């Protein structure tokens, strides 16, 4: 693979995911050793053509010889297109560019909800909030989580009552509305940040169930085992919820209401069966 020389990529230094993949670019030789820098550390005066607010939203690639600037998915296309020239025709195909730009924005505008980090609110440039991308992320996480849980709950039949194919969708969706009401009373300004983090936890928990779900045909009928694994997953989710609530400076109330909702749902399921 060919290295993209004389270029500097600017990433969000407060985003663990951004730090990780740009570091991988350097380690794999896609960029030079000094080819990455956080935009928080960048001296704007050295390249005033950069839109710093846009840099907070989309990764920036700067040609250090010409000061040419590219943003977002085009920056990534330039890095990968240099490394693998055969990909360049694909990266010039307009429908593909449009699709990948939407995927990139979907991830970028939700990146701090996907992988949380402490944020320095004193820094002037912070990622913009795009409501439609946050709602899209909530719907995506809800749909994937509900689908996996609908499949997994059948493995616990005998310990947990079986339900209709719609039950887990209602339970998962209900938690969004329930916790949304709770945080609206606690700190309405952090409503969308919290819901994004909460649904990441739900999605991660569902993905954690996938290995056992895939091995179910070999494990056989073992509802106690599957219930115990589910409870372990729920415990890990609670710990992550506490950690993310701490980072968001939201205290314990939301973790308590998170547990209350789940216990209430379990009680209702048990009574109705």
- Residue 132, both tokens: 């439609």
Confidence category of residue 192, pLDDT binned at 50, 70, 90: very high
Identify which of 230, 225, 258 has the alpha carbon closest to the alpha carbon of residue 151.
230
Q: Are residues 102 and 148 in the same domain?
A: no
pLDDT tens per residue across span 208-253: 999 999 999 898 888 999 999 999 999 999 999 999 999 999 999 9
Give the rounded percent of residues in the chain with a pLDDT score beyond 90.
60
**Across residues 192-203, what is the average pLDDT?**
96
Q: Give residues with Cβ within 8 angstroms of 147, minimum separation 6.
A: 168
What is the number of domains present in the chain?
2
Q: What pLDDT does residue 119 have?
A: 66
In this model, does residue 121 exceed pLDDT 70?
A: no
Does a structural domain hold residue 152? Answer: yes
The residue behind tokens 């000094």 is 34
Q: What pLDDT does residue 67 have?
A: 85
Q: Are residues 145 and 259 in the same domain?
A: yes
Q: Are residues 57 and 135 in the same domain?
A: no
**Across residues 109-130, what is the average pLDDT?**
81
pLDDT tens per residue across span 12-71: 888 888 889 999 999 988 898 888 988 888 887 777 788 888 888 999 999 888 889 999
Does a structural domain hold residue 267? Answer: yes
- Residue 133, both tokens: 């991308």
Query: Of 114, 141, 162, which marks where a domain is finished?
Result: 114
Does a structural domain hold residue 237? Answer: yes
Q: Are residues 81 and 201 in the same domain?
A: no
H-type helices in the chain, by residue range?
A: 16-27, 52-57, 72-83, 88-91, 94-108, 111-114, 131-152, 167-186, 191-219, 223-247, 253-271
Identify which of 91, 89, 88 has the alpha carbon closest to the alpha carbon of residue 72.
91
Does a structural domain hold residue 245? Answer: yes
pLDDT tens per residue across span 64-104: 888 899 999 999 999 999 888 899 999 999 999 999 999 99
Q: What pLDDT does residue 13 have?
A: 85
- Residue 190, both tokens: 């952090």
Q: Are residues 151 and 90 in the same domain?
A: no
In this model, does residue 123 exceed pLDDT 70?
A: no
In this model, does residue 266 exceed pLDDT 90?
A: no
Q: Are residues 104 and 11 in the same domain?
A: yes
Q: Are residues 149 and 256 in the same domain?
A: yes
Q: Are residues 110 and 136 in the same domain?
A: no
Q: What pLDDT does residue 126 have?
A: 82
Q: Are residues 105 and 142 in the same domain?
A: no
**Across residues 116-133, what is the average pLDDT?**
79
Q: How many degrees, rounded to 5, is the angle at CA 223 between CA 212 and CA 176?
A: 70
| Residue 226 domain boundaries | 131-271
Q: Are residues 81 and 183 in the same domain?
A: no
Q: What pLDDT does residue 46 have?
A: 75
Q: Are residues 152 and 254 in the same domain?
A: yes
Q: Give residues with Cβ within 8 angstroms of 139, minimum separation 6.
A: none
Q: Are residues 19 and 146 in the same domain?
A: no
Q: How far apart are the first and last CA of the chain?
A: 60
């Amino acid at each position: 693979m060919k290295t993209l020389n004389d270029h500097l990529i600017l990433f969000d230094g407060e985003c663990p995911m951004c730090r990780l993949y740009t570091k991988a670019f350097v380690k794999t030789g896609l960029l030079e050793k000094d080819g990455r820098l956080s935009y928080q550390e960048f001296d704007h005066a050295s390249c005033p053509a950069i839109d710093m607010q846009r840099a907070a939203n989309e990764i920036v690639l700067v040609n250090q010889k010409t000061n040419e600037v590219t943003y977002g998915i085009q920056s990534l296309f330039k890095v990968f297109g240099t490394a693998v020239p055969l990909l360049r025709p694909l990266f010039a195909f307009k429908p593909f560019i449009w699709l990948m730009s939407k995927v990139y924005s979907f991830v970028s505008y939700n990146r701090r909800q996907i992988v949380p980090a402490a944020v320095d609110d004193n820094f002037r440039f912070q990622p913009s909030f795009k409501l439609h991308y946050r709602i899209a992320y909530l719907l995506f996480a809800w749909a994937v989580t509900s689908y996996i849980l609908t499949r997994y709950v059948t493995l616990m039949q005998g310990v947990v009552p079986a339900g209709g194919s719609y039950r887990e969708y209602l339970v998962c969706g209900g938690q969004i509305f329930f916790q949304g009401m709770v945080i609206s009373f606690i700190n309405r300004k952090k409503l969308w940040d919290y819901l994004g983090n909460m649904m990441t936890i739900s999605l991660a928990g569902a993905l954690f169930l996938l290995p056992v779900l895939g091995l179910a045909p070999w494990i056989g009928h073992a509802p106690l085992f599957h219930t115990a694994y589910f409870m372990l997953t729920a415990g890990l989710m609670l710990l992550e919820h506490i950690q993310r609530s701490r980072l968001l400076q939201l205290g314990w109330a939301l973790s308590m209401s998170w547990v209350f909702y789940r216990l209430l749902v379990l009680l209702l399921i048990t009574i109705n069966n």
